[in-house]
Amino acid sequence: MTATYREQGDIAVVTLNNPPVNGLGYETRKGIVDGIQRAIDNDAIRAIVIIGEGKGFSGGADIREFNTPKALQEPWLQTVIRIVEDSSKPVIAAIHGVAMGGGLELALGCHYRVAVAGAQIALPEVKLGILPGAGGTQRLPRILGLEPALNMIISGNPVMSDKLAGTKLFDQMITGDLLEGAMTFARSVADARPLPKVRDIKIQYPNADGYLQFARNTVRAVAGPFPAPFKCVEAVAAAVSKKFDDGLKVERDLFLELVQTTESKALRHAFFGERAASKIPDVPADTLLRAIRSAAVIGAGTMGGGIAMNFANAGIPVKVLEAKQEALDKGLATIRKNYENSMRKGKLTQEQLDKRMGLISGTLSYDDIGQADIVIEAVFEDMGVKEAVFNKLDHVMKPGAILASNTSTLDIDKIAAFTKRPQDVIGTHFFSPANVMKLLEIVRGAKTAKDVLATTMALAKTIRKTGVVSGVCDGFIGNRMVEQYIRQAGFLLEEGCLPEQVDKAIEKFGFAMGPFRMSDLAGNDIGWYIRKRRYVEKPDVTYSKIADLLCEKGRFGQKTSAGWYDYKSGDRKAYPSDEVNQMIIAHSKDLGIERRKISDQEIVERLVYALVNEGALILDEGIALRASDIDMVYLTGYGFPLFRGGPMFYADTVGLPNVLMSIHRYAKGRHPEAWIPAPLLSKLASAGKTFN
């Protein structure tokens, strides 16, 4: 049973018991209604307590039920709440852990609410692209007041129960055992009549219309492509202007409208995608993890410094090893500077800064790091240098330590073979800046032990990253796909585009940054270095030569104040460069290409479908475990627009036959070799199926 009923003397206790978070699925909803009815039918019962088993009161509607018939199967949550509210005996919500979404809405339908400190109270629906659909937009403003309620509804952010202790939301804060406290409270109100109902409270707010208009303007400015925040304001406006039941109807209609939107589906896809990514089919969830209480990082450069910060931020002591004192000093100084910048922005206190810097120490000696539970290598991207480092690590690290490499392109299996313990070796591919970017690609070598993989996955969560497993291949999931995207960007220049047009088109589609601005930021020399290797290793792969010509001019990007664009000192803005644009036009001429006007639609399709096609190969080869993993890589590491759900999800929404048709069309262009449809894409398209 996902909701149980029992009687304790004159009090009935309905316990929500639907792990993991007491989602209000059909059976649970039915269990609550049955429980209330039984309590009403028994004359010996004077009051009813609803409480949650385990983690909290309730995380809200069971989002696994969305878009399934069960979601709309009576009793709906609205019906449940009406039955609770209409109960002739007082119903008391006893809250701990979380009361979110429908969980909070259920509590608001109760006559009384008691809570312990430390519970997270929220209406987070907006984060899933919807709005509270079971009275939350009508009841929360009534009990908390218009402004605080609207803030909670449009931000979706939790507020701690202790902070709400003085408000009408909680009739009593309980110290000690929650159930005991709730039952004592229940007895104290058992005979109180009439029963208080939130729906009866009048919203008092001078000039509510003016405030709501201000809220609409603010939301319009910040919500971007997401429709939900604006609709939240509309639903709350109905709470102010309409009778309670009419307001409920407005809320319900808006909810049903939003739940069908692609934006909401994309957000829910990302929510589940993030959680699915941590599940590895052949690694049981109860795999015994190795303890990670200390860490070491080799190399204090761009990546090493950021990686070390992640450990310190999570309270894990970390030693940073460098080859030379000067490089070490520079690396540690950069870390301090980063923290100081955060402090200046008010994101960190001096005390936190001191604590974090106190957890980071530098060394030049491998003898100092041997006892670390995990070591992450972030030295130059050169197999010879990696070999020397891993030989050394094999020699000094204690048995059972995890040996990780931050390589972005090199073969983890070869790196593992430099040691006598390949089972302990794994790839941890952070993204720059490593202390900021959410993505962590976790590269599973052929011999990586399951507990090493599970531990690294858990570590990702500890350091607040989205861990996604990738198999070993050139570029892993993210960079292997982005190479196809960058290739298309290069071909577009040859055929008629300028960098600005390409960037603008894909930024309008929703990418945080177009390929040329991104390349200028990362350093054009990195791609050049990789291409030079490719020209030898994979001579068949075609690239536009424009990027090489750019690098031959020393235009490496922001760091040289010149790349695809010009830069002014102290200014990160990209200014279109006449020199580069002339070079591009001249190169087309050299190739005998008559430049043509290319539409934004073509630009977007060629860039995005290049990602999708490579993603399909990656999926087919088992490099990615599931399509949503690829989407998570792109949402968290490459600035793919969240409202489009990631490349594979986006392809699903476009329709795979449509994607395939475009690919066939582009294959008739100048580079058919770049448009060979992935067999999986063709297969799914002809079967009428989707990636996700």
Q: Catalytic amino acids?
A: 105, 125
Between 31 and 637, name the residue whose CB sits nearer to ligand NAI. 637
DSSP assignment of 275-303, as one string?
Answer: HHHT--TTS-TTPPPPP---EEEE--SHH
- Listed in sequence order, the residues at least 6 apart from 435 whose beta carbon sits closer than 8 Å to its beta carbon are 305, 306, 307, 309, 310, 313, 338
Between 189 and 481, name the residue whose CB sits nearer to ligand NAI. 481
- Among 125, 80, 78, 81, smallest CA distance to 101 is for 125
Between 50 and 374, name the residue whose CB sits nearer to ligand NAI. 374
Between 447 and 559, name the residue whose CB sits nearer to ligand NAI. 559
Q: How far is the CB of 448 from ligand 3HC (least distance, A)?
A: 22
Q: Which two three-digit tokens encode residue 159?
A: 């507020």
Q: How far is the CB of 128 from ligand 3HC (least distance, A)?
A: 5
Tell me which residues touch ligand 3HC (CB under 6 A).
20-21, 23, 59-64, 77, 98, 100-102, 105, 124-125, 128, 132-134, 136, 275
What residues form DSSP beta bridges with 566? 562, 575
Q: How far is the CB of 526 from ligand NAI (least distance, A)?
A: 7
Distance (Å, rounded) from C-alpha 312 to C-alpha 314?
5
Between 7 and 413, name the residue whose CB sits nearer to ligand NAI. 413
Q: Which does 298 bind (CB under 5 to 8 A by kind): ligand NAI, ligand 3HC, none?
A: ligand NAI
What's the Rg (C-alpha) of the chain?
Answer: 29
Between 63 and 308, name the residue whose CB sits nearer to ligand 3HC. 63
Q: Phi-psi category of 581—alpha, beta or left, where left has phi over 0 and alpha has psi -120 to 50?
A: alpha
Between 2 and 407, name the residue whose CB sits nearer to ligand 3HC. 2
3-state secondary structure of 391: helix
Tokens 């009793």 belong to which residue? 75
- Say how many Å lie between the first and final Cα of the chain, rounded: 31
CB 615 within 8 A of CB 648: yes
Q: Which does 293 bind (CB under 5 to 8 A by kind): ligand NAI, ligand 3HC, none?
A: none
Give the count of alpha carbons within 13 A of 510, CB side only. Answer: 16
- Listed in sequence order, the residues at least 6 apart from 72 whose beta carbon sits closer than 8 Å to its beta carbon are none
Q: Which does 20 bind (CB under 5 to 8 A by kind): ligand NAI, ligand 3HC, none?
A: ligand 3HC
- Among 401, 332, 333, 336, smallest CA distance to 366 is for 401
Residue, CB closest to ligand NAI: 301
Between 28 and 435, name the residue whose CB sits nearer to ligand NAI. 435
Q: Which does 108 bind (CB under 5 to 8 A by kind): ligand NAI, ligand 3HC, none?
A: none
Q: How far is the CB of 21 from ligand 3HC (least distance, A)?
A: 4
Q: How far is the CB of 524 from ligand NAI (least distance, A)?
A: 13
Q: Which does 33 bind (CB under 5 to 8 A by kind): ligand 3HC, ligand NAI, none?
A: none
Tokens 């990007």 belong to which residue? 557
Distance (Å, rounded) from C-alpha 49 to C-alpha 6?
10
Q: How far is the CB of 125 from ligand 3HC (least distance, A)?
A: 5
- Listed in sequence order, the residues at least 6 apart from 626 whose beta carbon sits closer than 8 Å to its beta carbon are 276, 619
Around Cβ 328, how many Cβ atoms within 10 Å? 18
Q: Which does 497 bind (CB under 5 to 8 A by kind): ligand 3HC, ligand NAI, none?
A: none
Distance (Å, rounded) from C-alpha 629 to C-alpha 646?
9
Residue, CB closest to ligand 3HC: 101
Q: How far is the CB of 70 from ligand 3HC (least distance, A)?
A: 12
Between 476 and 666, name the residue whose CB sits nearer to ligand NAI. 476
- Listed in sequence order, the residues at least 6 apart from 199 whose beta carbon sits closer than 8 Å to its beta carbon are 85, 138, 139, 142, 244
For residue 75, say if its preceding peptide bond is cis, omega within 30 degrees of 0.
yes
Distance (Å, rounded) from C-alpha 357 to C-alpha 335?
8
Between 35 and 306, name the residue whose CB sits nearer to ligand NAI. 306
The single-letter code of the amino acid at 333 is: A
Burial class (CB in 10 A: 0-12, 13-18, 19+), 121: buried
Angle (deg, nearest 10), helices 499-509 and 476-495: 130
Burial class (CB in 10 A: 0-12, 13-18, 19+), 255: buried
Q: Which does 100 bind (CB under 5 to 8 A by kind): ligand NAI, ligand 3HC, none?
A: ligand 3HC
DSSP assignment of 29-58, as one string?
Answer: HHHHHHHHHHHHH-TT--EEEEEE-TT-SB
Q: How far is the CB of 136 from ligand 3HC (least distance, A)?
A: 6
Q: How far is the CB of 282 from ligand 3HC (least distance, A)?
A: 17
Q: Which does 124 bind (CB under 5 to 8 A by kind): ligand 3HC, ligand NAI, none?
A: ligand 3HC
Q: Which does 237 bind (CB under 5 to 8 A by kind): ligand 3HC, ligand NAI, none?
A: none
Q: How far is the CB of 500 from ligand NAI (least distance, A)?
A: 24
Between 130 and 303, name the residue whose CB sits nearer to ligand NAI. 303
Distance (Å, rounded) from C-alpha 377 to C-alpha 139?
53
Angle at 82 between CA 25 and CA 173, to 5 degrees: 80
Tell me which residues touch ligand NAI (CB under 6 A).
298-304, 321-323, 327, 331, 378-381, 385, 388-389, 406-408, 429-432, 522
Q: Which does 304 bind (CB under 5 to 8 A by kind): ligand 3HC, ligand NAI, none?
A: ligand NAI
Q: Which does 638 bind (CB under 5 to 8 A by kind): ligand NAI, ligand 3HC, none?
A: none
The single-letter code of the amino acid at 55 is: K
Q: How far is the CB of 134 from ligand 3HC (least distance, A)?
A: 4
